[in-house]
Structure 1
């Protein structure tokens, strides 16, 4: 249980701070980084579905972070649609894969999705082309609840 308490907040912190410092937008990224963004969107969708299974449909913790990622990336409409599709795909896959709702298996899957997301976010934060503190802004989507 302690490992989960450390992993999810660490991923949340990385998703909150790394994008705020980035000025390399999706259209300026290398193809490998664009793919990482798509994979991250999928992991966020998985995390969203799995968290909602235990916290309820009103919980928007990971969806809010996805919206923040889209805002920060400022990508063209086509890539933004791809990001949304990947998020929705991850959400649907996790819902279908865990119809039992909140269970030890769904919590384990949530930790795995968080680990993948953390690795992707970490890799993306290492490939930043430009860092402009003028564009960095505090996370305005935090709802005051800490990650589990």
Structure 2
């Protein structure tokens, strides 16, 4: 049964539109932003595990967003590996922390992860300057248009 998740659509939209608008790559980011990317990867891993607890193992919603983030960042292989490790760490931590599966506690943890992820994604989207708007992806909100 699908339940309303008010923060999930907002976070998903931010993750899909903000990084896609950015031609900057992880290796060009400041150290604080690289850390935020690692923290975001961890939160996405947490969210993936918590969502799967209620929606089933076949649900790949947050994993797909993580793969999109890796693609958009186009970072060096070492940083990509760090991001994957953080995602997997968040996934494992949430699975271990909620062995009961879908519960009110796991739903609460999912909402908390969404709030943290949204804050990280928002901060990342505010710290990047687009040097060439022509390079922004077609689903970008960088030019003032909404995602298509």
Q: Does the alignment reach a TM-score above 0.5?
A: yes
3-state DSSP of counterpart to 1:39: helix
User: What residue number does 1:83 align with?
Assistant: 83
TM-score (norm 2): 0.88
Listed as ranges, the gaps of 5+ residues in structure 1 are 140-148
Distance 2:99 2:129 in 1: 42
Distance 1:39 1:133 in 2: 29
User: What residue number does 1:110 align with?
Assistant: 110
Report how many aligned residue pairs link the two structures.
136
Aligned CA-pair RMSD: 1.4
User: What residue number does 2:16 align with?
Assistant: 16
TM-score (norm 1): 0.88
Listed as ranges, the gaps of 5+ residues in structure 2 are 141-148
Verify: 1:38 aligned to 2:33, yes or no. no
1:84-122 per-residue CA deviation (whole Å, 9 max, x = no partner) reads: 000000000000000000000000000000100000000
User: What residue number does 1:99 align with?
Assistant: 99
Distance 2:43 2:79 in 1: 17
